[in-house]
Structure 1
Amino acid sequence: MTSFGIWGLIPPVLTITLAFITKDVMVSLFLGIFSGALIVAGGNPLVAIINLTDMVAGSLNDGWNIRIFLFCALLGGLVGMLSKTGSAHAFGRWAADKLHTQKTSLLMTWFCGLLIFIDDYFNSLAVGTVMRPITDKNKVSRAQLAYILDSTAAPVCILVPISSWVITVMSIVKGSEGFDALGVSEFSFFIRSVPYNLYALLTIIMVLVIILSGRNFGPMAKSIAYAQETGNLYNEKYGPAPGEIDIDGDVNADKAKPLDMLFPIIVLIVSAVILFPVTTYLSSIDGETITSVGAAAASMSLGDAFNNTDASMALFYAVIFTLVITYIYYTVRKLFTIKEASGAITDGIKSMVPALIILTMAWTIGTVIKNSPADGGLGLAAYLSDAVVGGGFPIALVPVIAFALSALISFSTGTSWGTFAIMIPIVMPIAVGLAQAKGLADAGLLNAAMISVSAVLGGSVFGDHASPISDTTILSSTGAGCPHLEHVATQMPYAITTAVCALVGFFVGGIFLNVLAAWIVTLACFAAAMVFLPKILNN
């Protein structure tokens, strides 16, 4: 028996249904995993529980997975340390002396949002804390500030390979049925798929276009006009604004300098870029033909070293190195004591616990879905691939359906990570199976997988970006000091506009399996929207 057939649909369908009802992705994922284990156990709940615990333990017994787990935890520790030094406020003071107009302060907010890509929570709160006094001084509507914070949180984190978001995606992709047929590493797959992430990239572009052109529309235009006419930067009809958030704790920020905020980010980027090829060189040393790092470097091109890297090793080493160097740097700079530093790291790791739980369950449900019955799974991926391919389903529709369904799940649940865990193991084997049935190979097969998985990422990020119950949406309101309902109401038309443009792009991209065709249509729709929506909605 290669699969449990249609019974294998129960875990993902149950997970999605419960996520809609409960809005709790952790509980939904757990019950979805348990239902799969129950099917495999023949309905015996005791055996199912034993199998479930073995699967969870097995997911953390993998070298790749445990390094990813620790990377995410230590990244939280780095963010916790960074947030306690007062460096964000120091950067804000430096910026305040140079920004004297609404446009320049908004551009700086956008730039800072791109810069702080390592964590979406810290992005929203840190950039909001830094930029709110500056935008307030320049009479910028709080709703506009909140929109920029939210649009450079999740959309940026999903594009940069040195973030907990991307390392999670690479981990789920690596374990999905059909990935081995692509002939690339998970890191190479992600880097090549970045141009296909239409929603995330277009969201960042849209923010810049609106800042430069001033073509605001809908509720956002009304909030901006209200701020200009009354001098009140938020509309009290939406409720009170959140209180001030001090992300720097009790540490005296007067000692900090702007470089103190940039230092850990620079160290993390540089060390990761160096370690990506170095880890490939180290793993290729066999003690016979290749006996040193120099010999390994001479045996392959730099491009091959990057493409074949073990991203979990490179990023794990990079975050440890960054954590140690940053700890020493901040201690020497006397920005905190050893006790305060330890507390900051601990608090940062604690903040990552919910994400780590979702990550572990994502690996587990992926195992249940992918593995054959002989290996304790349901064989759902193989079943769906065979059923869809045998049914003659058009591959052109996979990306657009994947985007729409991922957007619906993520918007309803307020989380993208849970949506990644549910959708990627289902979409990957379908895209690969359909591409192979169509006779595609090499570039064509890879393009089909990249655009389909990118559609899942884009739809998932839309929900995390726009959903009123999303953590980043709430934290963006908090960071900007904007009433939550005003932020949701003003941002929604912008997010939907971007999503519709991306949806059309994924449809055309699915037909041609070409990123250029997808972008031509996406940008054409976006240009039309920016021309006509302000005229239609502002009258």
Structure 2
Amino acid sequence: MEHYGWLSLLPPVLTVILALLTKEVVFSLFTGVFVGYLIVNNWNPLAALIGTTDGIANSLNDSWNIRIVLFCALLGAFVGLMQATGAAHAFGKWMASKVKSRKGTLIITWLFGIFIFIDDYFNSLTIGTVMRPVTDEQKISRAKLAYILDSTAAPVSVLAPISSWVVTIMSIIKGSDGFSKLGVSEFTFFIMLIPINLYAILAILTVLQTTLRKDFGPMAKSEMRALNGIGLYDEKFGQPTGEIKEGVVVKERAKAIDMVLPILVLVGLAVVFFPITTYLGAIDGETVHNFSEAVKSMTLKDAFNNTDASKALFYASIFTLVFSSIYFIVRGLLTIQKVGEAIINGIKSMVPALVILTLAWTIGTVIKSSPEDGGLGLSKFLAHVVTTGGFPLWALPVVVFLIAAAISFATGTSWGTFSIMIPITFPIAVALAEKTGADLLNSTLVAVGAAIGGAIFGDHCSPISDTTILSSTGASCPHLEHVATQIPYAVFAMIVSAIGYLVAGLFDSPIAGLISALIVFFVGYEIVARAFNPKEA
């Protein structure tokens, strides 16, 4: 038996339904894992619970997975150090001192959001607290500030080559059925995904359009209120969600370089370790005896392409954390005791994400593994259904995008949507490409890019998304005003993205999808801005 047929769909479908109804991803994923093992163990609940426990343990027993867990934890520790030193505040203050105009302040806030790419929470909280006094002085509405924070949180984190988001996506991709057929590393695949991550790109560009061109819809009204001195926020939406009292520290000794230097070290070390880990792995003691011989045995391009991203990022995070701790102690920004506290607090902040990630790996294993390996064989079943049912490959990206967008908006989480949609999408794309003779790499890039883009939509604008809530808090904006003013922009970017994925599917080309989406975006924005631009507050 290669699969359990339609029954193999039960765990992921149940997970999606529970996530939509309960808005609780951890509970939904755990239930999906349990039901998967329940089917495998002939509906024996005790055996299923044991299988679930072993499945979770086995997920963390994988060397790749555990290094990714440790990298995410250490990244949280790094963010904790940056928060405790006041370096982020110093950097924002320095940037704000260089720009005095309203438009310049908006652009600086946008650039600041792009620069803080390592973590979406860190982005929303630090930039909001740093830039709020500056935007208030320029009569920029709190809703506009919250929108910029939200649009440079998840969308930027998912595009940056180094972040907890990236390693999460790579780990899910690496474990998806059919990935081994592509002949590229998971890191190379992620880099190639960037141009077809349409929603993230358009969400970031929309901020520039609203700054350089004009606002429309509810945001235009909020901006007019602020400019006319009526109020920085609309009291009919309630009171602001409050000032950030924890997590952002102001220290006079902190300088802008205290934030820039550690981040440059992190990025630099990651780039260096990508080929180094490949060279180290090539030393086998037989044909390759030392590092010098390993370097000569392959090109730098091959070293990057065949790297173990989990090792490279783990090494980079360890070295950066050590460097940053020593640097902040020498600078007098933290004591040894405060370094320990900051690291612990940072790691704690990553625990929910790590739980979701572990459960995502576990449900991925039980649904994709063949019955002889203790799984349901869902990948083989879906591949059989779509290749014999006449489902068109060109329609797959836009369908996947819309489904992922609906799930992420309803649940408020992109990570949970990644874990559900990517393992399902990958084998379908591979099977359809093989059946139709389409380019295997392009087909999977477009389909998986659509799943990721749809997931980012919900994380960006869902009222129950953590980054949406944190952006409201960071900007001290009434949460409902932030949601109401942001959704029209997000929906516009989503519709344009859907058109882009439709074109990408028709031409089986990520570049065709990107170009078409950009054309529709710039033309469509002018039309919408003219049609929905209020004349008075």
- Shorter-normalised TM-score: what interval? over 0.9
| Structure-1 separation of matches of 2:12 and 2:530 | 43
User: Which residue does 1:263 correspond to in 2?
Assistant: 261
1:201 CA displacement: 1.0
Mapped partners of 2:221, 2:461: distance in 1: 19
Change (3 A) 1:257 1:308: same
Q: What is the deviation of 1:516?
A: 2.4
1:265-300 CA deviation, whole Å, 9 max, x = no partner? 111000000000110111111222222222222222
Paired with 1:133 and 1:27, the residues of 2 have a C-alpha distance of 40
Normalising by structure 2, we get a TM-score of 0.98
Letter matched to residue 332 of structure 2: K
- Which residue type is aligned with residue 26 of structure 1? V
What is the CA-CA distance between 1:160 and the residue it aligns to? 1.3
Partner of 2:318: 320
For 1:264 and 1:449, the matched residues in 2 are separated by 36
CA offsets 1:361-415 (integer angstroms, 9 cap, x no match): 0000000111011111100011001111111210011110110000000000000
> What's the secondary structure of 1:304's corresponding residue?
helix
Name the residue aligned to 1:527: 522
- Corresponding residue to 2:450 among 431, 455, 458: 455
Tell me the distance in 2 between the aligned counterparts of 1:117 and 1:474.
18
Q: Deviations over 1:422-453 (max 9, x none)?
A: 0111000000000000123xxx1001001101
Map residues 24-39 of structure 1 onto 2, 5 A cutoff. Answer: 24-39=24-39
Paired residues of 1:3 and 1:383 also in contact (CA < 8 A): yes
- Find the aligned partners of 1:430 and 1:244 in 2 and give their Cα distance: 47
Letter in 2 for 1:377: G
Partner of 1:508: 503
Q: How does 1:293-372 map to 2 (within 5 A)?
A: 293-372=291-370
Q: Distance in 1 between matches of 2:455 and 2:168?
A: 13
- Post-superposition Cα deviations, 1:121-170, rounded to whole Å, max 9, x if no partner, equal 00000111111111111111111111111000000111112111110000
Q: d(CA) in 2 for partners of 1:51 and 1:292?
A: 43
Q: Distance in 1 between matches of 2:379 and 2:505?
A: 21
Alignment partner, residue 217 of structure 2: 218
Q: Does 1:425 align with 2:455?
A: no
- Residues 119, 163 of structure 1: 8 Å contact kept: yes
Amino acid at match of 2:336: I
Partner of 1:17 in structure 2? 17
CA distance in 2, matches of 1:120, 1:344: 18
Give the distance between the partners of 2:331 and 2:281, measured in 1 at CA.
37
The residue type paired with residue 374 of structure 1 is E
* 2:491 aligned with 1:496: yes
SS for the counterpart of 1:162 is coil
TM-fit CA distance, 1:3: 0.6
**Alpha-carbon contact 1:285-1:291 (below 8 Å) kept:** yes
Q: Which amino acid aligns with 1:366?
A: G
CA distance in structure 1 between the aligned counterparts of 2:517 and 2:194, rounded to whole angstroms: 15
Q: Find the aligned partners of 1:512 and 1:40 in 2 and give their Cα distance.
A: 40
Residue 274 (structure 1) aligned with residue 269 (structure 2): no
- Match for 2:479 among 455, 477, 484? 484
- Are the counterparts in 1 of residues 274 and 308 from structure 2 also a CA contact under 8 Å? yes
The CA distance in 1 between the partners of 2:430 and 2:468, in whole Å, is: 34
CA distance in 1, matches of 2:243, 2:225: 22
Structure 1 residues not aligned, in runs of 5+:
none
Indicate if the aligned counterparts of 2:445 and 2:510 stay in contact, CA closer than 8 A. no
CA RMSD between the two structures: 1.1
Question: 1:228 Cα deviation (Å)?
Answer: 1.0
Residue 521 of structure 1 deviates from its aligned partner by 1.9
CA positional deviation for 1:247: 4.6
- Aligned equivalent of 1:435: 433
Distance (whole Å) between structure 2 residues aligned to residue 92 and residue 528 of structure 1: 34
1:228 & 1:289 partners in 2: Cα distance?
A: 71
User: What residue number does 1:244 align with?
Assistant: 243
Whole-Å separation in 1 of the counterparts to 2:245 and 2:86: 9
Return the offset for 1:252: 5.6
Amino acid of the structure 1 residue aligned with 2:495 = V
CA distance in 1 between partners of 2:177 and 2:121 (Å):
32
Where 2:434 maps in the other structure, the secondary structure is helix
Is the contact between residue 126 and residue 247 of structure 1 (CA under 8 Å) also seen in structure 2? Answer: no
1:306-325 per-position Cα deviation (integer Å, ceiling 9, x unaligned): 11100000000000000000
Residue of structure 2 in register with 1:538 after alignment? 533
Whether 1:467 aligns to 2:462 is yes
Match of 2:198 in 1: 198
1:412 equivalent in structure 2: 410
Q: Give yes or no for contact 1:99–1:134 (8 Å, CA) kept in 2.
A: no
1:231 Cα deviation (Å)? 4.4
1:267–1:356 Cα change, 3 Å: same
Is structure 2 residue 233 aligned with structure 1 residue 234?
A: yes
Give the counterpart letter for 1:464 in structure 2: D
> TM-score, normalised on structure 1?
0.98
For the residues of structure 1 that align with 2:240 and 2:457, how far apart are their CA atoms? 24
Aligned residues: 534
Alpha carbons 2:443, 2:508 under 8 Å: kept = yes
TM superposition shift of 1:235: 1.0
Residues 129 and 246 of structure 1 are in contact (CA less than 8 Å); yes or no, is this contact kept in structure 2? no
Q: Secondary structure at the match of 2:85?
A: coil
Instruction: Tell me the amino acid that sits aligned with residue 490 of structure 1.
Output: T
Give the CA deviation at 1:337. 1.2
The answer for unaligned runs of 5 or more in structure 2 is none
Partner in structure 2 of residue 129 of structure 1 = 129
Residues 267 and 322 in structure 1, CA contact (< 8 A), matched pair in contact too? yes
The CA deviation at 1:177 is 0.6
**Alpha-carbon distance in 2 for matches of 1:230, 1:435:** 58
**Contact kept? 1:284, 1:296, Cα under 8 Å:** yes
Structure 1 residues 71-220: aligned runs within 5 Å: 71-213=71-213, 215-220=214-219
Q: Structure 1: how far apart are the matches of 2:92 and 2:437?
A: 55
Contact 2:32/2:363 (8 A) holds in 1: yes
Contact 2:139 2:229 in 1 (8 A): no
Residue identity matched to 2:84? K
Distance 1:331 1:240 in 2: 40
Per-residue Cα deviation, 1:185-231 (whole angstroms, up to 9, x for no partner): 11111111111111111111221222122x11000000000111134
Whether the aligned pair in 1 keeps the contact of 2:434 and 2:440 (CA below 8 Å) is yes
Cα distance between partner residues in 1 of 2:275 and 2:481: 47
Q: 1 CA distance for matches of 2:38 and 2:196?
A: 38
